[in-house]
Amino acid sequence: MKIALYPGTFDPITFGHIDIAVRASKIFHKVVAVVAENPGKKPLFSISERLEMVKEAFSEIPEIQVESYSGLMVNCLNDFGATVLIRGLRALSDFDYEFQMAFTNRNLRSTAETVFLMPSSRYIYLNSTIVKQIAKLGGDISSFVPKYVMQKVHKKFNNEICN
């Protein structure tokens, strides 16, 4: 059985993330969406909040399992019996970083492969940072994230403003 990991911070998960994971699930027998703890980022949502949102997003897709992980993704590959990392490429600006990460991961674990998927054209510009910026300024994010996620994002910003 071919298992692939789709790691990300998912802060918050967007329709672009969902698009990539669903398309990957049509290629691999099982996809594990890994909600990663990235020490280089300061997420808006806690790991448990992100995990909850990602689980909800994939609740009706049995081929996609959701887990959290705080170590190196090459070790996570081992833990789940996977050999492939799924990464989304939106634009040329993503390529340099992803290219470096793919070769670093292969250097750390020679059997690690990275498969790049491009999102559907309607999500090519979409990322979590944009979603948070729009929401923080009171904008409508309903075309970027599921309703459940939208409610969590707006609640988070309303709580920050009130405190």
User: Annotated catalytic sites, by residue?
Assistant: 17, 41, 90, 128
CA dist., res. 43 & res. 30, Å (int):
27
Q: Is the N-terminal amide bond of 39 cis, ω within 30° of 0?
A: no
Within a 13 Å sphere around the CA of 3, how many CA atoms are in the beta-carbon half? 16
CB atoms within 10 A of CB 155: 10
